[in-house]
Amino acid sequence: ASQYSSLFGARRIILFDELDGLTGTADKGGVKAMIDVIKTAQCPIVLIANNAFDPRFTALRNHCLLIEFKRPSVTEVLKHLKAICLKEGIDAEENALKFIAQRSEGDIRSAVTDLQALAQGKKRLTYEDVSWLGFRDRQETIFTVLRMILYGKTCEGAKRAVNMADVDVDMLFEWIYENVPNHLTDPRDLARAMDALSMADVYRGRLRRTQDWGFIRYVIDFMTAGVAMARVNTKSSGWTPFHFPERIQALSKTKEERSIQLEIGNKIKRKCHISATRASKEILPYLRIIFKNNVEMAAGIAKWLDLTPEMVEYITESKEKAEAINKLLG
């Protein structure tokens, strides 16, 4: 992948995240392999690590330009919170916002989440409203959070895990959904857990449609406490690994394909006055048949829709057919 451009000729960048996760015999030789890739790659490579000065990365650092990303200061977080309050029409005391910023420990996402929770339904926010806010433990990995939810003994303990997660609620939902079947092996427990996740997903849908963030409390309750309390009959069977969400992996792999499909849908939308989604579902399949079987007609349609060569190749699913059509387009 480091030697070639993307399918449609777009520029490519390779990103290795969570470099700190290279541990144990399973990843033996991983650093050396990365150095080999860096030496031969024809595109930029970005490596992300929490601790770039880990002794394991000594050789790797010699081949990299180190760029440090520092946590935002209290002043920077405070400025961001003030801007939100101004936009939302919330009269907030400065010492209240400063208190939230200090408790966030440089995590803007959690500061905004705290502000949203504390200011919900209010037009004024005082220091008394926020003084109970505690520090969060930001060192918990997704695996620890999942363990707290899937093996939780109390509703409060499972719900508290959300505040410790280093991912957002939607991503945490995907992690739970992916791993529930492997950790709740009793069919009755699994059914209860999936019912809870189903209800959480219902409220996620309502939240997206209405943008009413009051629904988030129900999402969190069902996906954490609901899943934790589903465990009744499942017995512990030793260590069971956690798996990255397959749905996220699938979306990542098809991102480029979905992007060009949406662009074609938008081209059809402007000409046919229908939605891009409907165009992709109802018109694109017929275009594919035409483009594969009638080069002259395909060229005329491509010109009318103002399709790019990459779009033509995507529709034809054939480089030779695409070249023939693009040749007629001039």
- Mean pLDDT, the chain, rounded, equals 85
* Rounded average pLDDT over 23-49: 78
Beta bridge partners of 92: 125
Question: Which one, of 166, 155, 154, 100, lies nearest residue 130 by Cα?
Answer: 100
pLDDT tens sequence across 55-92: 788 888 888 988 877 788 899 999 999 999 999 899 99
Is this model's pTM higher than 0.75 or not?
Answer: no
pLDDT exceeds cutoff 50 at 25: no
Query: Per-domain residue ranges for the chain?
Result: 1-69, 74-130, 142-243, 257-329
Question: Which one, of 175, 85, 67, lies nearest residue 130 by Cα?
Answer: 85
pLDDT tens sequence across 125-150: 888 888 766 555 544 568 888 989 99
Classify residue 4 as left (phi > 0), alpha (psi -120 to 50) or beta.
Answer: beta
pLDDT tens sequence across 1-18: 444 455 555 678 888 887
What is 74-130's CATH topology? Helicase, Ruva Protein; domain 3 (1.10.8)
Contact 233, 186 (CB under 8 A): yes
Question: Where residue 93 falls among pLDDT bands split at 50, 70, 90?
Answer: very high
